[in-house]
Amino acid sequence: MTTKIRIRWVWKAAHLVTLTTLLGLGGCRDQNADISDSTFLVVTDFAKGADNWKADYSDYQLNEADSLHFVSGIRSLPMPLDTTRKAFLVGSTNASDDLFMFLKRKLSGLRPTTNYQIAYELELASKYPAQSVGIGGSPGLALHLKVGASAVEPVKVAKNQGYYLNLDKGDQATGGKDVILIGDASNDSADDRYRLVRRFSQGKNLMAQTDKNGALWLVVGTDSGYEGRTDIYYSRILVSLRPLISQ
């Protein structure tokens, strides 16, 4: 659902906690809002389904596919969290030591061929402690969380006997031009229970240009060096897009 909200826009360091409070959207479900006819806000909590988000995987060898055990889709949050809430699960066994698990969504109705400044706020369920130890790296700290945007659809392409992302996302702890690093997906705890954590792109410079039809693709994912099983539940995704135009 898309609605118009008439409100004076205040941009505060791309911090979407401020954005959520300002707009009173703390309880909004699966909606987009065009703020003051310029800034576009995407709010998804998966209560009504995938809301056009789709899962995919890249950065693995062709002969590894059967051992990665991909799983994705709308699920209830795991125990001990509120199991009445829904989330988008993305999981796999990272045999490649370099797997990128991601969600993507196409936006339309933006200004054609226009640069946008983009900010993310993510809420996700993770059970991986920051200080844990695992093969290839910490199950928490080696789970590098990234966000991005591009006029080109993020897809995996076959190359050098493997599948790799067609966008520049960097590699593991390094971000790229299209997809940037915003932190890790650890559970901010010393135990291995699922906890809800929030991550922000505050202070990060993320810009992308729409295509000639005013479309843009969003991408959220984890670039992992941990060689083990990882299951992440994305419970809430907020994205704001502000056009960089002369007033």
151-197: pLDDT as tens digits? 999 999 999 999 999 999 998 888 999 999 999 999 988 888 999 99
Residue 150 included in any domain? yes
Average pLDDT, the chain: 83
- Going from the C-alpha of 236 to that of each of 24, 56, 75, 123, 195, the distances in angstroms are 16, 18, 13, 5, 14
The domain of 82 spans 52-235
Number of residues assigned to the chain: 247
19 domain-assigned: no
Which amino acid would we find at residue 31? Q
User: Is-cis flag, bond preceding 112, omega within 30?
Assistant: no
E strand or H helix at 224, and its extent?
Answer: strand 216-224
The answer to whether the CB of 31 falls within 8 A of the CB of 43 is: yes
The verdict on residue 66 lying in a domain is yes
Per-residue tokens: 43: 């709010």
The CATH number covering residue 151 comes to 2.60.120
Look at residue 25 in the predicted model and tell me its pLDDT. 40
> pTM of the prediction?
0.84
Contact status, residue 13 vs residue 22, Cβ threshold 8 Å? no
Range scoring the smallest mean pLDDT among 19-33, 48-62, 85-99, 228-242? 19-33
Domain count along the chain: 1
- Decide if 38 is inside a domain: no
- Which pLDDT does position 154 carry in this prediction? 99
In a domain, residue 32? The reply is no
Q: Which amino acid is at 18?
A: T
Is 7 among the domain residues?
A: no
Q: Which range among 20-34, 35-49, 171-185, 217-231 has the greatest average pLDDT?
A: 171-185
- Confidence band (pLDDT; 50, 70, 90) for 107? very high
Q: Note whether 14 and 202 are within 8 A (CB).
A: yes
The answer as to whether 117 is a domain residue is yes
H-type alpha helices, 79-176: none
Q: What is the pLDDT of residue 187?
A: 92
So what's the pLDDT on residue 142? 79
Identify the burial level of 117 via C-beta atoms within 10 angstroms of its C-beta, where 0-12 means exposed, 13-18 middle and 19 or more buried. middle
Q: What is the mean pLDDT of residues 51-61?
A: 97
